[in-house]
Amino acid sequence: MHEIDVVAPNLKRRLSGVTATVVRLIPIQSRMIGIVTTGPGLPPELPHIPLTRAATLPRDRWRVWHARRNTEMALGLILRRLLGRRYRLLFTSAAQRAHTGFTRWLIRQQDALIATSPQAASYLERPATVILHGVDLTVFHPSDQREALRARMGFAPQDIVIGCFGRIRAQKGVDLLVEAALDLFPSRPRAKLIFTGRVTADNQKFTDELMARISAAGLADRIRFLGEVPWEEVVQNYQAIDLFAAPARWEGFGLTPLEAMACGVPVVAPRGVGAFETLIRDGETGSLVARDDARSLADALAHWLDDDAARIAAGRAARANVEANHSIEDEARAIVAVYRKLLG
């Protein structure tokens, strides 16, 4: 292992968007700087040290403690102020909402801030470096096995498949997409819709009610909930679909549209949510619609369902946009530049 310059904590065992960010970035950043993770719930192949070692690293020089959660900011403060470790404190925020008093206090103690979008930066009340998330273009890309993937999932060549991936809950606007599909699908026999993602116990009733509505409309064979799927299937699902919908009511950043676009799939998503307005070029790589509005969502979906040539062209433009502006290597380099500035 190289000299440790940066420690990236992950203080949550269950997979989350923050954990996924750490997992995506560390292998690339480790080729640029001496970086390690600490904490539970991470793959064994990542460079990793126990929390006890993170708390006892020599005081011979400064290192960066890169927090992405309140708990991690708090632990960084404890390590520096109570245990005397020489950590420069860095926090990345994706939240687009007013922070609580305690969070604002933690943010004021940081040496530097990163925001994942201009919108997130506006809530920090301090200067921040805006660094958009990127995607690994060697993982997320159009597949030359697309027809085989679709056949394996039970789709016919003429089907137009809409995908929506993420946890099944109201925050993600799943009910809005179901409502739009119930409106559109009777007059569009080629249209299909798949949802993937975990259903937690507190969202089971919400999901059951949606499935009952779908069944009552006679569309259970065309609107399917696939549940939580293995990682390699997630990528294949992106590669198999024709159109992606991200109708979230609230989102910190919203990485799924970027992953879909990297796979050559146009995206429909709301304005004023996450970083969608920064990622999606309205009318060129997909559509931006009104937030929390099933009618606006349905109108945009209808446009792409009804125009095959426009949909295919938008998919190509989406891939080109991600290649030019949103590679994970660019994200990793920008973050490492912040590390070096803190260490300098």
Helix (H, G, I), strand (E, B) or coil at 92: strand
Of 160, 166, 157, 222, give the one whose Cα is nearest residue 195.
166
User: H or E segment at 246?
Assistant: none
Q: Give the up-direction half-sphere exposure of residue 320: CA atoms within 13 A in the CB hemisphere.
A: 10
As a whole number of Å, the end-to-end CA separation of the chain is 22
Q: Is 303 exposed, middle or buried (0-12, 13-18, 19+ CB in 10 A)?
A: middle
Question: Tokens 């992405």 map to which residue?
Answer: 68
Q: What is the pLDDT along the chain (344 residues), one digit of tens a residue?
A: 569 999 999 998 776 778 888 988 999 999 999 999 999 988 889 999 999 999 999 999 999 999 999 999 999 999 999 999 999 999 999 888 889 899 999 999 999 999 998 889 999 989 999 999 999 999 999 999 999 999 999 999 999 999 999 989 999 999 999 999 999 999 999 999 999 999 999 999 999 999 999 999 999 999 999 998 887 788 999 999 999 999 999 888 888 999 999 999 999 999 988 889 989 999 999 999 999 999 999 999 999 999 999 999 999 999 999 999 999 999 999 999 999 999 99
CA proximity to 279, closest of 300, 258, 260, 249:
258
pTM of the shown model: 0.85
For residue 6, report the phi and psi dihedrals to the nearest 5 degrees.
-140, 135
List domains and CATH numbers for the chain.
6-134+327-343 (3.40.50.2000), 146-325 (3.40.50.2000)
Token pair, residue 169, equals 């809950």
Q: Are the beta carbons of 22 and 12 closer than 8 angstroms?
A: no
